[in-house]
Structure 1
Amino acid sequence: MSLALNPRFATPAADAFVFDPGQAVEGRQEFVPRYGDDGWSLLALTQNPSQADDIIRWRWFPEVFREPFRYAAWTVINFPLPDLDVARPGVGMRSKLSVGRIMKTVNHWSMFAQWLDERGIKQLSLVTAEDLSDYSHHLDRARGLARNTATSHLIALSRLHYYGQLYLPDADRLIAPPWVAEGMDDYLPAASPLGENVTEPIAPATMGPLLVWALRFVEEYADDILAAFGEHRGLVEIAEALKGPFRKGSGLRLVAYLEQLESEGSPVPAVIRDTKISTPGVFLAGRTGTPIAKVHQVMNYPRWKAYKVQNPGRCLLDAPITAKLGGKPWHDPFDFHDVPGILKHLVTACFIVLGYLTGMRTGEILALENGCCPDPQGSPEAARRHLIYARQFKVARDEDGNHASAGVVREVPWVAVPQVVTAVRVLERLGGHGLLFAAEVHDPLQPERRSGRSLAIATMSNRIESFIEWVNIHAQNWGRQAEAIPADPHGRVGTGRFRRTLAWHIARRPGGLVALAVQYGHMRTLISEGYGSRSRGGIHDLLDFETARNVAEHLSEVHEAIQDGEGVSGPAARRLINAAAQEHHRFGGLITSVRQANDLLADPTLNVFENKEAFLFCNYDRAKALCHPGRGTKSETPSLDRCKVNCANIARTDTHAHQLRQVADDLGKQAASSLVPEPLADRLLERAQALNELANQHDHDRVTAATGAEL
């Protein structure tokens, strides 16, 4: 079917396709919806493997508006917006929308239609500019939408107006919204004080154990789980091959198996759910080579039915448990029916490792393919680093500037630390070909239309919550409650917060969680070297934003403390006092935009980083930094895990001196314990003495804001 561009169209017939099946992704033509369907799935239009199979439900709309908006949606799906409308100032539109954006647009329309119906307005042509202004205030005051979300709603109504002028009958045309001529600022909620990215990082108390358990699955438990999965799959394949009419005597092997169990007094494999005991047909079929139908027939014989009820047991696999947890096997022998669930947790753990230790967006991770992380070429002696070649979707555009649903291969690949490479290899062992997170491999019960696609983002988000729940139950059962994963104070972990959390931890905990220090290979260095100067995309913007926020907050706190009489010591004491005052007056401790972050980071006098482990501030000057011995490095930040006490960039505050003495006192108390061996006690006392000397040196050299200005 072809559609000519014409300002007047007749409503399509109920059995007509919503869009030309020829536009559908190869193999998806049968899933193209019909115009009269109660729901429209647009999944056949996109090549993005992680796109959710959302469906436009026409019951969302009040009946009076159902058909006008159905027709409006049909025009948006099939016809581009003319260049004249796209180019209008302040509109911010594309001529064609992605599937995800079409879904959002129609959803926004449904909310608008419900609001009109509640106000007694039953026709789009009757909507006034005052009504539209009221609706914009409704989005802010009644619904409390964030600025970006409200913007999306207003753009959807602008699009409805432009399409109405071209394609809709007079009664269904929306007048030009007032923000088209006046701009949107007066019709939107105030900008968030938190800046451009309001996604909260995952709390360290949650992220720490979550990462630990994910790495345990990937690095330690994977072989056990994959061995169990291989045995599970083998039993299923045997059972599947035996389907069909069975021959005479086909139950003899099962009977012999049951008689042996009876003679030994061993339990018979069964499925136990609460008080109900049933026959594990597939397991027994695979174990004994008996057709499933024959298994159920034999197990219904009075003799074996009674024995099953009296002696039910688990369907244990032969796969060994080799990994340890606290010196003991990490898991009991696997039950046949538990393997699919534990395999899901392994796949989820791989996602967590990829999401947190690369900085990739969720869609990029779910679109990764087997072979995306090849082994580096070259001699073993040379410095070799694994790279991940991924497709990005957010900025993918075709030659007309519209969204390209297949994505584009990222110009600069992601850097993969060893833990990430291990996660990729685990997934490759499962997939064999195609996508690492292929739906048919990791969720075979998905509808057929998801074949060839990845797990959906919502599915993975739910699996992360299930993974956390499983870990907490496992920790409880194994007496390791201290290793449970606490709930995050901001709610569900989800999939999109790992990227922000990585940036947060690199910027704010340089010697802490992500670094673990050398084990994860200095993530900032790896990421920066991976992108080089060719790209400031990827996670760099988030890193810069978090670094700037961290610096601003610390410097503002230092300025306030100095004004209250806090003393500062060290070679860079005056630089710290001046930097704190300058930051406080320029930014007030609050970075709310990427532009402000860039301005702060571009000022070398404000490059100040706190090293809490060494109890100091680093007033970073690359030419003086002893953490970079060659000092020819292009590093924009210090390596805080390599601080030297004689570095010219160091400054300490009274707070740091107090902390030094507290740690020294604690070490002294440990050394005095009769349980501590003498050599260890000597080392503890030596360390305590060194810390006290640093604190005493601070007291001797300290200056305040007034004296620092005179020096």
Structure 2
Amino acid sequence: MTLALGPRFAAPAADAFVFDPDRAVEGRRDFVPRYGDDGWSLLALTQNPSQTDDVIRWRWFPEVFREPFRYASWTLINYPMPDRDVALRGAAMRSKLSVGRITRTVSDWSMFAQWLDERGIKQLSLVTAGDLSDYSHHLDKVRGLARNTATSHLIALSRLHYYGRLYLPGTDRLVTPPWVTEGMDDYLPAASPLGENVTEPIAPATMGPLLVWALRFVEEYADDILAAFGEHRRLVEIAEGLKGPFKKGSGRRLVTYLEQLEAAGRPVPALVRDTKISTPGVFLAGLTGTPAVRVHQVMNYPRWKAYKVQNPGRCLLDTPVTAKLGGKPWHGPFDFHDVPGVLKHLVTACFIVLGYLTGMRTGEILALENGCCPDPQGPPEAARRHLIYARQFKVARDDDGNHQSAGVVREAPWVAVPQVVTAVRVLEQLGRHGLLFAIEVHEPLQPERRSGRSLAIATMSNRIESFIEWVNTHALDRGRQAEAIPGDPHGRVGTGRFRRTLAWHIARRPGGLVALAVQYGHMRTLISEGYGSRSRGGIHDLLDFETARNVAEHLSEVHEAIQDGEGISGPAARRLINAAAQEHHRFGGLITSVRQARDLLADPTLNVFENKEAFLFCNYDRAKALCHPGRNAKSEAPSLDRCKVNCANIARTDAHAHQLREAADDLGRQAVSGLVPEPLADRLRERAQVLNELADQHDHDRVLAAAEADL
């Protein structure tokens, strides 16, 4: 089927395809909707494996507008916007939209149609520019939409206007929206005070334990889980192979097995759910080589039925549990029916490790394929790093600037730290080929229309919540409540917050990772270097933003302390005082855009970083820094995990001196507690003395900060 080059304002027949089936992705031709269907799925048009299967529902529209917008949507799917309109309207317009954006546009149209119906306007050609202005006000004041969301709605109406001029009948043509000629700014809500970054990072108290447990699954528990899953799969395959007519005497092996259990007084495997006890047909079929149908027949014999009720037991696998938690096995023997659930948690843990320790977008992770992280080539003595070759979707455009649903391979691969490589290898063992998160592997009972795709983003988000719930229950059962994962104050962890959280921790934590700074301190260097050259489509802007916001907050706090008469000491004391004053006058402690972030970071006098582990501020000057012995290297940030007490970039506040004394007192209490060996107690006392000496030096050298600020 080939659609006509130009519609003549006549809707297709109800049984006509919504779009040419030849455009459908291979294997999805049968999913192409018909024009008269109550809902249109556009899944057959996209090659993005994680694209949501959203369906356009015509019940969204008031009846009077249903057919006009059905036809408008058909033209949106099948015809490009004229080049002249694309050229005139700038980057916000594309000649063709992605599947997700088409669905979003039609959804925006439905809200507009409902608003028109409520106002008594029953025809698009009767809408005035004043009505459109009122609608923009409605989006802001009544609906309370964020600026970006409101922008999406206005662009959708602009597109309806452009399509109407060429493709729609006169009664369905929308007047030129006022924002097309006057600009959008006056028709949008005020910009958010948080600028471009409204996604909240995951709280450190949540992210730390979450990452610890995810790494435990990936690095320690994976072998046990994979072995149990292998045995589970073996038993299932045996049971599947026994389906069909069975021969006489096929239940003999099961009876022999049951007689052995009875003689030894051992329980019979059973499924116990609340008060209901049932027969585990697949498990016993795989275990004894008896067809499942025959298993149920034998287990219904009065003798074995009574024995099952009196002695029900679990369906335990004989695979070993080798990993430890607190010196004890981390898990008891695996139950056949629990293995799929534990395997889901392992896959979720792999996603968490990939999401947090790479900074990839969710869609990029779900589109990873087996073989995406090959072992590096070269001699063993050479410095070798694993790289991940991934596809990106957000900026994937063809030569005409239109979205490419299959994505494009990133020009620069992601740097993979060892923990990420381990997660990839675990997923590769499960799938062997295709997508790492393939739906056929991880949700084999999903509908056929999901075939060839990855787990859905919503599914993975739900799995993360299930993972947290399982961990907290497990920690409680093991008497390790202190290791539970607390809830995040901003709600669900989701899938899209890991990227922002990574940037937050790299910018604000010595070593770069909360709760793992010592064990995995090298990640900060690797990740930062990897992202440093990935400003396009990477995480570089987020790193800039979080670093600048961190600097601005610290300098603002120092400025307030200076005004309150707090003292400053150290070789860089005057530089810190001047930097705090400059930041206050230029930014006021608030960074709201990437441009502001870059302006702040470009000023060497404002490169001030707090090291809470060493109780100091680093007023970073590369020429004076002792954390980089080779100071000719191109290092634009300090290594806060290598601060030296004699560095010329150090400055301390009265608050730091107070923290030094508190830390010294705490070490002193530990030394005299009698709970530590004497050699360790001696080292604690020595460290406490050093901290007290640093605090005394601050008191001796501190300058009158308020007086210095007035110079």
Regarding TM over 0.5, the answer is yes
CA distance in 2: counterparts of 1:33 and 1:356, whole angstroms: 38
Aligned residues: 711
- Which residue number in structure 1 is paired with residue 72 of structure 2? 72
Q: Cα gap change, 1:133/1:707 in structure 2, threshold over 3 Å: closer, same or farther?
A: closer
Task: Give structure 1 stretches of 5+ with no counterpart.
Answer: none
**Secondary structure, counterpart of 2:92 in structure 1:** coil
Matched, 1:24 2:24: yes
Match of 2:50 in 1: 50
- 1:289, distance to aligned residue in structure 2 (A): 0.8
Mapped to 1, the partners of 2:76 and 2:275 lie a distance apart of 55
Question: Contact 1:628–1:639 at 8 Å: present in 2 too?
Answer: yes
Judged with a 3 Å threshold, the aligned counterparts in structure 2 of structure 1 residues 91 and 325 are, in CA distance, closer, same or farther, namely closer
Taking only the aligned residue pairs, the percentage that are identical comes to: 89
Structure 1 window deviating more from structure 2 (700-709 vs 370-379): it is 700-709
C-alpha separation in 2, matches of 1:142 and 1:207: 36
The within-5 A match list for 1:105-120 is 105-120=105-120
Q: CA deviation at 1:47?
A: 0.5
Measure the CA separation in 2 of the matches of 1:212 and 1:168.
Answer: 57
**What CA distance in whole angstroms lies between the structure 2 residues aligned with 1:485 and 1:662?**
28
State which drifts further: 379-388 or 166-175. Answer: 166-175
Task: Give, in angstroms, the shift of residue 710 of structure 1.
Answer: 8.9
Partner of 1:650 in structure 2? 650
Judge conservation of contact 2:531–2:539 (CA < 8 Å) in 1. Answer: no
Distance 1:539 1:523, change over 3 A: farther
Q: 1:673 Cα shift?
A: 2.2
Change (3 A) 1:585 1:472: same
Deviations 1:615-667 (A, max 9, x none): 10000011111000111221111000100000000001111111111111222
Counterpart position of 1:466 = 466
Partners of 2:512 and 2:523 within 8 A in 1:
no
What CA distance in whole angstroms lies between the structure 2 residues aligned with 1:482 and 1:534? Answer: 38
User: Which position in structure 1 is the counterpart of 2:41?
Assistant: 41
SS of the aligned residue for 1:87 comes to helix
Shift of the 215–533 alpha-carbon distance from structure 1 to 2, 3 Å rule, reads closer
Is the contact made by 2:532 and 2:540 (CA closer than 8 Å) also made in structure 1? no
What secondary structure does 2:40 align onto? strand
**C-alpha contact 1:389 1:410 (8 A) present in aligned 2:** yes
Q: Cα 1:91–1:127, aligned 2, differ >3 Å: closer, same or farther?
A: farther
Asked if 1:685 is matched to 2:682, the reply is no
TM-score scaled by length of structure 1: 0.98
| In 2: Cα distance, 1:709 partner to 1:15 partner | 78
Relative distance call for 1:392 and 1:77 in structure 2 (3 A) is: same
Give the aligned partner of residue 305 of structure 2: 305
Residue in 1 that maps onto 2:265: 265
CA contact (8 A) 1:412 1:530 kept: no
1: distance between equivalents of 2:270 and 2:471? 26
Q: Which moved more, 1:640-649 or 1:509-518?
A: 509-518
Partner of 1:238: 238
1:199-278 correspondence to structure 2 within 5 Å: 199-278=199-278
| Matched residue, 1:485 | 485
> Does structure 2 conserve the Cα–Cα contact (< 8 Å) formed by 1:97 and 1:402?
yes
Q: Indicate the residue corresponding to 1:673 in structure 2.
A: 673
- Give the aligned partner of residue 405 of structure 1: 405
Distance in 1, matches of 2:515 and 2:671, equals: 29
Assess if the C-alpha contact under 8 Å between 1:28 and 1:44 holds in 2.
yes
Q: Which residue matches 1:155?
A: 155
The CA deviation at 1:519 is 3.5
Q: Secondary structure at the match of 2:337?
A: helix
- Mapped pair 1:379 → 2:379: yes
Contact residue 413 and residue 531 of structure 1 kept, 8 A: no
Aligned amino acid, residue 63 of structure 1: E
The aligned amino acid for 2:542 is L
Report how far residue 510 of structure 1 moved.
2.1
- Secondary structure of the structure 2 residue equivalent to 1:618: strand
Please give the secondary structure, in 2, of the residue aligned with 1:415.
Answer: strand
Question: What residue identity is the alignment partner of 1:222?
Answer: A
Paired position in structure 1 for 2:418? 418
| Counterpart secondary structure, 1:336 | coil
**Distance in 2 (alpha carbons) for counterparts of 1:103 and 1:275:** 47
Amino acid at match of 2:67: E
Residues 7-39 of structure 1 deviation map (CA, whole Å, 9 limit, x = unaligned): 523211111111101001111111111111111
Distance 1:680 1:88, change over 3 A: same
Q: Deviations over 1:308-362 (max 9, x none)?
A: 1221111111111111111111111111111111111000000000000000000
Residue type of the partner of 1:507?
A: A
Give the match for residue 504 of structure 1.
504
Q: What amino acid maps onto 2:365 in structure 1?
A: I
Distance across 2 between alignment mates of 1:509 and 1:350? 23
Aligned partners of 1:239, 1:326: CA distance in 2, in Å?
38
Aligned to 2:555: 555
AA aligned to 2:77 is I
RMSD: 1.5
Letter in 2 for 1:635: S
- Is residue 548–residue 600 contact of structure 2 (8 Å, CA) maintained in 1? yes
Preserved contact between residue 91 and residue 155 of structure 1 (Cα < 8 Å): no
1:317 maps to 317
Instruction: Tell me whether 463-472 or 163-172 shows the greater mean CA deviation.
Output: 163-172
Could you tell me which residue of structure 2 aligns to residue 2 of structure 1?
A: 2
Which moved further from structure 2: 129-138 or 700-709? Answer: 700-709
CA deviation string 1:378-410 (max 9, x = no partner): 111111111100000000001111000110000
In 2, the alpha carbon distance for the partners of 1:534 and 1:316 equals: 49
Q: Which residue of 1 aligns with 2:143?
A: 143
- Per the normalisation by structure 2, the TM-score is 0.98
Counterpart residue number, 2:633: 633
Does 556-565 or 121-130 show the bigger shift?
Answer: 121-130
Contact between 1:125 and 1:170, CA under 8 Å: does it hold in 2?
yes
| More moved, 399-408 vs 252-261 | 252-261
Query: Is the contact between residue 511 and residue 518 of structure 2 (CA under 8 Å) also seen in structure 1?
Result: no
Contact 1:417 1:520 in 2 (8 A): no
Q: Structure 1: how far apart are the matches of 2:91 and 2:351?
A: 37
1:513-532 matches, within 5 Å, as 513-514=513-514, 516-517=516-517, 519-531=519-531
d(CA) in 2 for partners of 1:473, 1:709: 54
Q: CA offset at residue 292 of structure 1?
A: 1.2
Structure 1, 432-441 or 688-697: larger mean CA deviation: 688-697
Answer whether contact 2:511 2:521 (CA < 8 A) is retained: no
* Greater Cα offset, 201-210 or 291-300: 291-300
